[in-house]
Amino acid sequence: MKQAYLCAFLTLFLAGTALGSPYPQAERYFALRAKHLVVSDATPENIQTQPTDFDGRLVEVRGQVVGSALRDGGGSFILNGDQHVWMVDATDLPLLDLLKLRTAVRLLCRVGTVQGTGTGMLMAAAGVLENDAGAWEEMKARQAEEVREAARLRAEAQRQRQPVRASRGAMQTQVPIDVSPSYEQILQAYSKAVRFFNRRLNQAQADRIARNIINYSVKYGLDARLVMAVIACESNFNLHAISRAGAMGLGQLMPGTAAGLGVTDPFNAEQNLEGATRLLSGHIRTFARKRGGEVTEREIRLALACYNAGAGAVNRHKGIPPYRETRNYIRKVTELYRRFCGEE
């Protein structure tokens, strides 16, 4: 996982599987749908007269439940669709709970035969509320559009940025801040993520935090998604967070550390975020210099250990200290960072 020196766009799937879907039933439904051959244009006549044509396939039906006949261990349900009326059997308890009168649903059904007749019948295998299915599809369409837009913005940023030689010989990227025509789109993606973690923030506060994270990440040569992950794990974007040890603000800076970074008010979002970003960048650069300037996951993990436990502890243990808190912290930050990058 190489460090990105410019964050062109925050690929966050906050409404998707990465951070927990708001439509878990739809997630399961469409996951099953993706794994099977699905027929969506069958007719009731096809099912009844040619059931063997559907061997190994699932049939998708959509409609409103307009009738039911319950029995021990299951029931039969009538669905009124746009073009057809369907008769479907169901035995699974979650499906029985789903199939309430006047409820619009989508079902994935297996095709069986009525014993002794050879006539085809539908047996529900999975279902989802129509509203949830539609919302899930819209969410996925937005995510796909965001991915396409992210690719476009990355390409645009690649064309715009110019490499310059840093004082210690490493290559950095010089990027103008607040001048790209797509900057506001990037800002809104980060702002949305900030409010996802702390819904008590108003829009102006979230925008200010997002703007500072983007700008200081560029200034100090970090991937803003890594900074986002650190702040999320440190404070959940709580401006006034104070730990039992006395760490303060968004980046949970200790008083001595804050003073050394020139942070006079740790509860000031701009000061705290600049200090936290500068501190993390310094740790990463320290370890990168030992590898000729290369930044890999190893350097990031060591830098996170320094941020959490202190550089002294890392030096004493000649690596990540064996502290449970520190190891859990590194795991949480790196997992969240990968999710922000769309890797999980």
Asked if pLDDT for residue 206 goes beyond 70, the answer is: yes
Going from the N-terminus, what domains does the chain have, and what CATH number goes with each? 19-132 (2.40.50.140), 180-340 (1.10.530.10)
Which SS3 state, helix, strand or coil, does residue 117 take?
coil
Rounded Cα–Cα distance for residues 77 and 42 (Å): 18
Rounded Cα–Cα distance for residues 65 and 73 (Å): 19
Rounded Cα–Cα distance for residues 141 and 155 (Å): 21
| Rg of the chain, C-alpha, whole Å | 27
- Residue 339 has what pLDDT? 87
Instruction: Name the active-site residue from 60, 234, 274, 299.
Output: 234
b/e string for 235-257 if b means 16 or more Cβ within 10 A?
bebbbebeeeeebbbbbbbeeeb
Q: Minimum mean pLDDT among 156-160, 232-236, 299-303: which range? A: 156-160
Active site residue 184: no
In the numeric block, which tokens belong to residue 329?
Answer: 């912290």
- CB-based contact 198:238 (threshold 8 Å): yes
- Residue 153 has what pLDDT? 54
Q: Looking up tokens 């949970």, which residue turns up?
A: 252
Per-residue pLDDT tens over the stretch 60-108? 999 999 999 998 889 999 999 999 999 999 998 888 889 999 999 999 9
Which SS3 state, helix, strand or coil, does residue 136 take?
helix
Question: Would you say the pTM of this structure is higher than 0.95?
Answer: no
